[in-house]
Amino acid sequence: MNTSIIRCTCGRRIFRKNILQISFHFKLFGESFVSIKYKCPRCKRIGEYIVSEKEWDSSSFNSSRGELTPQEIKKFKKMGRITIDEVIDFHLRLKENKNWLKEMVKG
Percent of the chain exceeding pLDDT 90 equals: 22
Residue 64 has pLDDT above 50, yes or no: yes
pLDDT at 1 over 50: no
Q: Looking at residue 16, which CATH number applies to its domain?
A: 2.30.30
Do residues 17 and 47 both lie within one domain? yes
Cα–Cα separations (whole angstroms), residue 63 to 38, 48, 74, 100: 16, 20, 19, 36
* Residue-range definition of the domain harbouring residue 91: 70-106
Q: What is the pLDDT of residue 104?
A: 73
Task: Give tens-digit pLDDT for 16-58.
Answer: 889 999 998 888 888 889 999 999 999 999 999 988 888 877 6
- Tell me, yes or no, whether 10 lies in a domain: yes
Mean pLDDT for 71-84 is: 88
Element (H or E) spanning 35, and its range?
A: strand 33-39
pTM exceeds 0.75 for this model: no
Q: Are residues 45 and 85 in the same domain?
A: no
For the chain, the average pLDDT equals 82
Cα–Cα distance between 34 and 57 in angstroms, integer?
Answer: 10
Where does residue 44 fall: left (phi above 0), alpha (psi -120 to 50 degrees), or beta otherwise? left
- In this structure, the answer to whether residues 91 and 53 fall within a common structural domain is no
Sequence-ordered alpha helix ranges (H) in 27-80: 70-79
C-alpha closest to that of 49 among 69, 78, 19: 19
